[in-house]
Amino acid sequence: MADLMFDYQFRLILIGDSTVGKSSLLKFFNDGKFVEVSDPTVGVDFFARTIQIPSGPRIKLQLWDTAGQERFRSITKSYYRNSVGALLIYDITKRASFDHIPVWMNDAKRHIEPHRPVFVLVGCKLDLVNNGASKREVTEEEAKQFGAEHNIFTVETSAKTGSNVELAFSAITQEIYQRIKSGEYQMEEGWDGIKSGYSHHSASIDFNNYIEAEPAKSCC
């Protein structure tokens, strides 16, 4: 259950090949637990979590976990449009899943247009490489190079140990917030990528007054 108080809501979408670990990543981020066996995602699943940007606003992340399976593609595509950011997920032990990343990225770009989505590139299953259970098929350098070319943040994670999971989500959230501050992103009627939260229902100036006025009992 997400907290009630938040300043903004961002909608993020997780995309990538089937079985790369999108749902596991999200489950860990959401519950802090790793699920050993999970069914393939049917269509799109939803999660929500509120995070606090250090000395910044509280952000409710509405996370859309998409099915990687081809048969769901027509459904998952509908969810791109109302997203402000996309986590591009690949499996570091599976070359093909990394090779497909440009396809996923272009798909997202095309559907989120004219908004410029924030991407992060997330490699999954770092634990399998670290404990020697699987061979690494994508090097960290390759991923970094891809990130540098497209100017996106890259990170390798493990949903089993929880390593870097938090970082992946906070990085994309920070970047979106930066773009709001710079004025690139604005809340728009008819676009659900970014929404203002509960504490924005009253204009921010009123909200500040309200906080200040409270001790003096002058409010209401």
**Cα–Cα distance measured from residue 161 to residue 28, given in angstroms and rounded to the nearest whole number:** 9
Q: Judged by CB, which is closer to other proteins: 9, or 154?
A: 9
| Min separation Cβ 75 and other proteins, Å | 6
Of the candidates 23, 19, 18, the residue with the CA atom closest to the CA atom of residue 34: 23
Of the candidates 43, 42, 26, the residue with the CA atom closest to the CA atom of residue 34: 26
SS3 of 144, please?
A: helix
| Min separation Cβ 189 and other proteins, Å | 8
Q: Judged by CB, which is closer to other proteins: 100, or 155?
A: 100
Using CB under 8 A, list all residues that contact other proteins: 1-2, 4, 39, 42-44, 46, 48, 62, 70-75, 77-79, 81-82, 95-96, 99-100, 103, 107, 111-114, 189-192, 198, 201-202, 219-220
SS3 helix, strand, coil % of the chain, rounded to 5? 40, 20, 40
**Cα–Cα distance measured from residue 50 to residue 130, given in angstroms and rounded to the nearest whole number:** 30
**What are the strands, taking DSSP E only, across the chain?**
8-15, 44-52, 58-66, 85-91, 118-124, 153-156, 194-196
Q: Judged by CB, which is closer to other proteins: 71, or 135?
A: 71
Residue 71, C-beta contacts closer than 8 angstroms, at least 6 positions apart: none
Q: Judged by CB, which is closer to other proteins: 72, or 153?
A: 72
| Min separation Cβ 179 and other proteins, Å | 18
Q: Judged by CB, which is closer to other proteins: 49, or 161?
A: 49
Q: Judged by CB, which is closer to other proteins: 148, or 213?
A: 213
| Min separation Cβ 210 and other proteins, Å | 9
**Cα–Cα distance measured from residue 121 to residue 77, given in angstroms and rounded to the nearest whole number:** 19
- Write out the two tokens for 17: 């090949």
| Min separation Cβ 115 and other proteins, Å | 8
| Min separation Cβ 197 and other proteins, Å | 10
**Cα–Cα distance measured from residue 65 to residue 106, given in angstroms and rounded to the nearest whole number:** 18
